[in-house]
């Protein structure tokens, strides 16, 4: 939801069998930081339970990427890449690391 508030508004409108309007889009855009904070909280909670959980590092890295926090992006996505040899999105994650934060 935080990554695509306009898409979220469209999906919400479709579920209601309505057209998305500017108010619904603005409502979703206003919730972006709240959604990012909630996601970050849950990823950190997961890491407290299992510090080796690679997907939680990935999640924190993607939250940081959306916020433009380059240092955290690098730290968390590097931890994700080191966590498991069966990472299916390795190419995508490396491209984020090469580009840096937005």
Q: pLDDT tens for the chain, 102 residues: list them.
A: 556 666 767 777 778 787 767 666 677 677 788 889 999 999 999 999 999 899 999 999 999 998 999 999 999 999 999 997 689 999 999 999 988 655
On whether both 92 and 49 belong to a single domain, the answer is yes
Q: How many residues does the chain have?
A: 102
Q: Cβ atoms within 10 A of the Cβ of 16, count?
A: 10
Half-sphere exposure of 92 (CA within 13 A, CB side): 8
On whether both 59 and 26 belong to a single domain, the answer is no
On whether both 21 and 40 belong to a single domain, the answer is no
Q: What's the pTM value of the predicted model, to 2 decimals?
A: 0.75
Does residue 100 come out as left (phi exceeding 0), alpha (psi in the -120 to 50 range) or beta?
A: left
On whether both 26 and 58 belong to a single domain, the answer is no
- 65: domain range? 33-99
Q: How many folded domains does the chain comprise? A: 2
On whether both 26 and 41 belong to a single domain, the answer is no
On whether both 38 and 68 belong to a single domain, the answer is yes
Q: What is the pLDDT of residue 63?
A: 94
On whether both 17 and 37 belong to a single domain, the answer is no
CA 32 to chain centre: 10
Q: What is the pLDDT of residue 24?
A: 65
On whether both 41 and 12 belong to a single domain, the answer is no
């Amino acid at each position: 939801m935080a990554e695509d508030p306009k898409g979220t508004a469209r999906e919400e409108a479709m579920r209601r069998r309505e057209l998305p309007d500017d108010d619904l889009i603005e409502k979703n855009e206003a919730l972006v930081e709240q959604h990012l904070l909630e996601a970050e909280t849950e990823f950190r909670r997961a890491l407290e339970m299992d510090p080796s959980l690679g997907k939680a590092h990935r999640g924190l890295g993607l939250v940081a990427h959306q916020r433009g926090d380059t240092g955290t992006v690098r730290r968390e996505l590097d931890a994700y890449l080191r966590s498991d040899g069966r990472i299916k999105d390795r190419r995508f994650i490396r491209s984020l690391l090469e580009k840096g934060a937005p």
